[in-house]
Chain A
Amino acid sequence: DGGITQSPKYLFRKEGQNVTLSCEQNLNHDAMYWYRQDPGQGLRLIYYSQIVNDFQKGDIAEGYSVSREKKESFPLTVTSAQKNPTAFYLCASRPHEKSGYTFGSGTRLTVV
């Protein structure tokens, strides 16, 4: 079945460590996105990519980095520069503008 797989589902990190969240899709979608969700805040865009080897900052990119070396994969690294990284992270993809997003099931990151 086609879909988006995010891993891990839960992740704990010590302060000062970088962590990488995985996002893989087999939908053959060109565009991929990373959103962060905090209680009462809705979804806020971190980074997005429309094609391989190209990506753009979203509204809250500081402290995050991404890569898009393959169409299927769009990993997100949360760096130690992100001051408040505890949140729920959602990856999404979209085939074209006439379609909605398909979301992964998310990764909950907790800084301990």
Chain B
Amino acid sequence: EDKVVQSPLSLVVHEGDTVTLNCSYEVTNFRSLLWYKQEKKAPTFLFMLTSSGIEKKSGRLSSILDKKELFSILNITATQTGDSAIYLCAVDSGGSNYKLTFGKGTLLTVNP
């Protein structure tokens, strides 16, 4: 059974702090790992990672994948209150069905 584990499950920081969110996985055939941000309702896409060691960056957010150790991290620098959200990690384990397996998410709260 495919498995995605995120840590921590929740995190409270102050504005300006840097945070690192973790995602480890065990899947039969890895194709890609995706990060989403969910503020109130619909999760919004952040990154898709397919290759080890290549950092993806978008503003203050960045992410990297380690396919040997089977994990990914999502970094957020200089956090703002608008970064408060649930961050979801998902893995595509291949096959023809395109389905994703999600972790439980990390609830990030950024206090002013």
Question: What residues of chain A have their CB less than 8 Å away from a CB belonging to chain B?
Answer: 31, 33, 35, 40-45, 48, 50, 56, 58, 90, 94, 96-106
Once the chains bind, are B99 and A41 in contact (CB under 8 Å)?
no
Number of interface residues of B (CB under 8 A): 26
B45–chain A nearest beta-carbon distance, Å:
4
Asked if B96 is an interface residue, CB under 8 A from chain A, the answer is yes
Which of B32, B36, B45, B99 has most chain A Cβ within 10 Å? B99
CA distance A37 to B88 in the complex (A): 12
Q: Chain B residues with Cβ under 8 A from A98's Cβ?
A: 32, 48
Task: Mark interface residues in B79-112 (1 if CB within 8 Å of A CB, else 0).
Answer: 0000000001010101011111111110000000
29 A-B pairs with CB atoms under 8 Å apart are: A31-B98, A33-B99, A33-B100, A40-B9, A43-B88, A44-B102, A45-B99, A48-B99, A50-B97, A50-B98, A58-B99, A90-B42, A90-B43, A96-B98, A97-B31, A97-B32, A97-B92, A97-B94, A99-B48, A100-B34, A100-B36, A100-B48, A101-B34, A101-B100, A103-B42, A103-B43, A105-B41, A105-B42, A106-B42
Can you name the residue of chain A whose Cβ is closest to the Cβ of B95? Answer: A97
Mask of B43-58 contacts with A, CB within 8 angstroms, 1/0: 1110010000000000
| B residues neighboring A (CB under 8 Å) | 6, 9, 31-32, 34, 36, 41-45, 48, 88, 90, 92, 94, 96-105
Give Cα A45 to B103, complex, Å.
12
How far apart sit A50 and B48, CA to CA, in the bound complex (Å)?
21
- Do B104 and A42 touch (CB < 8 A)? yes
Q: In the assembly, what is the distance between CA of A45 and CA of B91, in Å? A: 13
Which of B31, B43, B45, B94 counts the most chain A CB atoms within 10 A? B43
- Please list the 10 inter-chain residue pairs (A to B) with the smallest Cβ-Cβ separation, ordered nearest first: A42-B104, A43-B102, A103-B42, A105-B41, A100-B45, A105-B42, A106-B41, A31-B98, A42-B102, A100-B34
